[in-house]
């Protein structure tokens, strides 16, 4: 196995490399968001994300924050799943609950629910007539930059490394350790 030589930078060069231009203001109009929400059909749920035009590579609203907006139809529930990012859900329409690790957190307009990172959860719209809309803030861009973005959906399948582009079905299944001697455990 070859090893890439590491880079050694003077501190002033490091500081200069860390400088990033400030983002310009951006605005997303509700009419545009709502039109996209009801015209998209991803994973049977209507989902859109807000992306800053200067952050196209990151597909995020700001450097470390993603904003996902989803519609949950009357009587509908999402797949039980879990993911690496934490998620803060703001309810902007409807009523229902988010079940997190088998405990129900009932919500309605104006409520906020935190789903901690890597917890099993599902969202349920309990209305028979009204759509529920959740604005969700997640730290997924930060996890993406550290190559640490995983998702398990539906629950029970092997977690998938979301960033693996060449194989969308790539599962995260590390090889079991192999003991080379009594002092050191090596991973394959």
What the chain holds in terms of domains, given with CATH numbers, is: 27-187 (2.60.120.10)
**Rounded to whole angstroms, how far apart are CA atoms 63 and 12?**
23
Among 158, 122, 116, smallest CA distance to 139 is for 116
176 phi, psi to nearest 5 deg: -65, 150
pTM score: 0.76
**Rounded to whole angstroms, how far apart are CA atoms 64 and 41?**
26
Can you give the pLDDT of all 188 residues of the chain as single tens digits? 678 888 898 999 999 888 888 899 999 999 999 998 888 654 456 889 999 999 876 678 888 899 999 999 999 998 888 888 999 999 999 999 999 998 999 999 999 999 999 899 999 999 999 999 999 999 888 887 777 767 666 677 677 666 655 555 555 554 444 445 554 443 33
Q: What is the dihedral of CA 98, 100, 103, 108, to 10 degrees?
A: -20
């Amino acid at each position: 196995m070859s090893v890439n030589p590491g880079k050694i930078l003077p501190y002033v060069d490091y500081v200069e490399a860390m400088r990033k231009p400030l983002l310009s203001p951006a605005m997303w109009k509700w009419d545009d968001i709502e039109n996209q929400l009801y015209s998209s059909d991803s994973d049977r749920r209507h989902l859109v994300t807000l992306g800053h035009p200067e952050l196209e590579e990151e597909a995020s609203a700001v450097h470390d924050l993603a904003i996902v907006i989803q519609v949950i139809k009357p009587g509908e529930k999402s797949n039980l799943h879990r993911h690496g990012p934490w998620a803060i859900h703001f309810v902007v329409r409807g009523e229902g609950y988010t079940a997190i690790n088998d405990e129900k957190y009932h919500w309605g307009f104006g409520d906020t629910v935190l789903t901690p990172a890597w917890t099993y959860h599902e969202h349920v719209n309990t209305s028979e007539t009204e759509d529920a809309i959740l604005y969700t803030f997640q730290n997924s861009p930060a996890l993406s930059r550290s190559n640490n973005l995983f998702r398990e959906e539906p629950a029970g399948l092997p977690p998938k490394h979301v960033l693996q582009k060449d194989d969308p079905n790539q599962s995260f299944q590390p090889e079991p350790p192999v003991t080379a001697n009594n002092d050191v455990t090596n991973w394959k």
